[in-house]
Amino acid sequence: MIKSRSIFGLVAAGCALGLACPQPSRAVVSDEDFNALKTLVQQMNGKLQSLEQTNLQDQRVIQQLQQKLTETQRTAVEAQQNSIATAQAQAAAPRVPLDEATVNHNFQILGDAEIQYNKTDHQNGAFLLADFAPIFLYRGGENILFEAGFDFGLQNNSPNGGGYTTTVNLSFAQLDYVLNDYLTLCAGDLVLPLGTYSERSAGWLNKFPDNPLAVDLVPGTGVGAELRGALPLGETGKLLNYSIYGVNGPGSANGTGNAGALDLGGNVGITSGGSTANTHGNLVGGARVAFFTPFKPHYDLEVGLSGQSGEWDDAGKHLWSAGVLDAALHLGANFEAKGEYIISRYGSDDLGQIHQQGWFLQAGYKLAGLNLNLPALNNLELVARYDSMRDGLGTHTRRYTAGYIYYLTSALLFEGDYEIIRSSDPAQPTSQFILQMSYGF
């Protein structure tokens, strides 16, 4: 009995233990699933390796970018430092001029050019290059100016030769040094202030295509030195103009003291033989004083008196002297009248004292002053001139001139003149017709 109980107990304990112990799990996986799972794991492993490689590459790129960023930052810092250094250097250096007007030196060309058609009685009409006259200006600083004017022209060669010759003349060449507001020192081949015509004779300044006869009685230029200037008289624009000069003066064309040998254009200081000499013993002196008064803009009067005197022949026995009274009047922007009275005296070996004189009076009126609504007429100016000259050697010439100026622009002029000439010299023409295109630049 006891044995049965023991067996029963063991069985019961075994059952209890069997119930208490977890039952072992036992999954059932097929080969197909296992292979699929294996493939999947392999693929995932491949992707993982690929991602690792990509990650490595990205890391390298990031490192490179970081290096570049570092370099860029360094460059930016250097650039900033350079910029600061440059700005500091510029602040310390002299300021670069922004306006060309502040430049100390300047070269400039002015001048004029004229083309004519000229018909003189008993001669064939012809076109001619009347003048090409550039003026070169060189300014050095505030008060130094060198100015030189040239005249270019054309003329046929001799009758037995073909072609033509270009003539070039130095009209003037002078160095101007402005001493102060009232005085300037000039030296060189000077435009002489005997009257005002020689200083205002450029083609587009002169209202006529040719010069007044009487201006041939005085030299236009002379080699020497001059002091000139202007003194304002009050604040209303009135001026006193003055100049005083010394030049070599006139000379003798052939060395003699004969009346016909007077040469107003020579004696420039260097002889044809190359030696440096005045052809006569002493320099010649001259001066001009003038009063200018404006009544209001474009209304003014200028009156001047000038003269020159000195030896002219090589022996120094004879004096040549001249005096000029000049006047100019403006009544509005449309009317101008001016004139000069010129006398000269000089001694000679053969004819004794020679007395020369001449004068001219000219006037111009712009039809714009009529206030007509006719543009063609507004550009037109009527001009007239009377001039006369006695050369002291027996010739008396008078000339009457009437003409017009058509202003294509303020500096481009188309002029036409008809001249009637009365002269005791039979070789002189009796009439002349001139057309001229003139440009001032």
Per CB under 8 A, which of residues 315..344 are in contact with other proteins? 328, 330-337
| One residue of 218, 383, 389, 437 binding other proteins per CB under 8 A | 383
Q: Are 110 and 137 in contact (CB under 8 A)?
A: yes
Please name every residue paired with 240 in a beta bridge, in sequence order, or none if there are none.
231, 291
Nearer to other proteins, 128 or 412 (CB): 412
Closest separation in Å from C-beta 368 to other proteins: 5
Closest separation in Å from C-beta 234 to other proteins: 9
Tell me which stretch binds other proteins (CB under 8 A): 87-95, 244-252, 274-282, 365-373: 365-373
Positions in 169-208 near other proteins (CB under 8 A): 176, 178, 180-182, 184, 186, 191, 199-200, 204-205
The C-alpha atoms of residue 441 and residue 411 are separated, in whole angstroms, by 7
CB atoms within 10 A of CB 158: 7
Tell me which stretch binds other proteins (CB under 8 A): 42-50, 213-221, 296-304, 343-351: 296-304
The C-alpha atoms of residue 78 and residue 355 are separated, in whole angstroms, by 88
The C-alpha atoms of residue 305 and residue 217 are separated, in whole angstroms, by 16
CB atoms within 10 A of CB 127: 10
Place of tokens 């970018």: 65
The C-alpha atoms of residue 414 and residue 435 are separated, in whole angstroms, by 7
Closest separation in Å from C-beta 163 to other proteins: 36
Positions in 235-274 near other proteins (CB under 8 A): 235-237, 239, 241, 243
Beta pairing class for 251-252 and 319-331: unpaired
Nearer to other proteins, 3 or 296 (CB): 296
| One residue of 323, 347, 365, 390 binding other proteins per CB under 8 A | 365
Positions in 118-157 near other proteins (CB under 8 A): 137-139, 143, 145, 147
Indicate whether 275 belongs to the interface with other proteins (CB under 8 A). Answer: no
N- to C-terminal Cα separation, the chain: 157
Beta pairing class for 183-191 and 354-366: unpaired
Positions in 297-316 near other proteins (CB under 8 A): 297-300, 302
Please name every residue paired with 306 in a beta bridge, in sequence order, or none if there are none.
288, 324
| One residue of 8, 34, 127, 295 binding other proteins per CB under 8 A | 295
CB atoms within 10 A of CB 167: 10
Positions in 402-441 near other proteins (CB under 8 A): 402, 407-412, 418, 420, 422, 431, 440
Nearer to other proteins, 138 or 341 (CB): 138
Query: From start to end of 272-353, where are the E strands?
Result: 284-296, 299-311, 319-331, 335-346
Residue type, 220: G
Nearer to other proteins, 262 or 328 (CB): 328
Positions in 36-65 near other proteins (CB under 8 A): none
Nearer to other proteins, 316 or 429 (CB): 429
